[in-house]
Structure 1
Amino acid sequence: MITCPYCATELVEQNGNAYCDFCDISFGPESEWGMWAEDGIRVPGKQMKGFITAEHAEKSVKELVKYHTYDLLVCLRLAREERTKAYDLLKTFNKAIDQGGIEFTEDAAAQGKVYEYWTKRCWVLENILMDRMGYFPERITDDMLIKMQERSLRAQLRRMAISRERRKAKNI
């Protein structure tokens, strides 16, 4: 049985297309909404990449918006780590300059640009998350990421089905 991937309404295929009255969407090979589902299976959605590095955080905004929210959170965590490293090194150069080491001026300027770069990368990721989730987390912990990954996988496996049979009341 073919169904709407958003609401699980049973669909009728006509000439390679199907229309959902409930969602007011047409599905098919040419549809912007893609194909219909089978037996109430959910929309596949964005897939997790599995292995994320700081290089992923450097992708363009056009690429990043295609990432799964989990992957964006990992990217933000890594970008924040890179920004912290850049800031710590910048502080070290500035202390050396303050103590008379003017030969570190160029290094400090270069490191300042690295810090600015990673700060902007963080802002990009935070704003994509704001757009998607309505907020971005102040801290991203291993526990938070593990729970999010588990919830995401559970949600993808959960079929959309309405029980049409009346349930018997439990005796107390």
Structure 2
Amino acid sequence: MKTCPYCGSNIEKMNQQQYYCDFCTMTLAASIVKENRERLDVRFRDIVFDTAIEKTTPELMVFSTFELLYLLKMIRNERSNMYSHMHVFHRAGEEGNTEFKEVEKETGRNYMYYTKKGFIVENIIRARLGYVPTRITENYLVKYLENIEKDKNRPMIIRTERQKKVNG
């Protein structure tokens, strides 16, 4: 039986590509319709490549929350490395070597880049979760994935009084 992925109600077929849910009062694409009150699929990749940091803001906005959390962890690490390098080159440049001054400036530009990218990703996460985690550890990410897996197998079933009495 075809059901709505949002509320679990039975839905009506409008045509080959669309269904209609009376409860949600909305048209659903056939691609997201579920069977037997299953929930919506959560789209995510469990690996995010460092090249994702270079994506534009609109491109980052379509990443899943998990992907963004993983990306933010990477960005924070790169930003921290750039700050450390910038400090080292600053101290080396104080000794008069102009080559270190140039490298310090370049590292400073990279630090600014990662700082701004971090702000972008944090704000997308903030809009979705309502907060930004202060620390994102491997354990945090593993638990996040575990919660996604646990939740996806919970069907949307409403018990009626009669079912409660029959089932115990």
| Fold shared, TM-score > 0.5 on shorter chain | yes
Query: Corresponding residue for 1:39?
Result: 36
Question: Percent sequence identity over matched residues?
Answer: 32
TM value normalised by structure 1:
0.87
Query: Corresponding residue for 1:119?
Result: 115
TM value normalised by structure 2:
0.89
- Unpaired runs of 5+ residues, structure 1, are none
- Conserved 8 A contact 2:89-2:103: yes
Aligned mates of 2:59, 2:68 — CA distance in 1:
11
Query: Corresponding residue for 1:15?
Result: 15
For the pair 1:96 / 2:97, whether they are aligned, the reply is: no
- Conserved 8 A contact 1:54-1:75: yes
Which structure's residues are more often helix, by fraction? 2
Residue type matched to 2:50 in 1? A
Runs of at least 4 residues off by over 6 Å: none
Query: Corresponding residue for 2:151?
Result: 155
- Unpaired runs of 5+ residues, structure 2, are none
Count of residues in Structure 1 that have an aligned counterpart in Structure 2: 165
- Conserved 8 A contact 1:53-1:78: no
In structure 2, relative to structure 1, the CA distance for the partners of 1:114 and 1:14 (3 Å cut) is closer
Aligned mates of 2:14, 2:51 — CA distance in 1:
46
Query: Corresponding residue for 2:64?
Result: 68
Residue type matched to 1:37 in 2? K
CA displacement, residues 71-93 of structure 1 (integer Å, 9 cap, x when unaligned): 11110000011011111110011
Query: Corresponding residue for 1:4?
Result: 4
Query: Corresponding residue for 2:26?
Result: 25
Aligned mates of 1:43, 1:84 — CA distance in 2:
37
Give 1:169 shift: 9.8
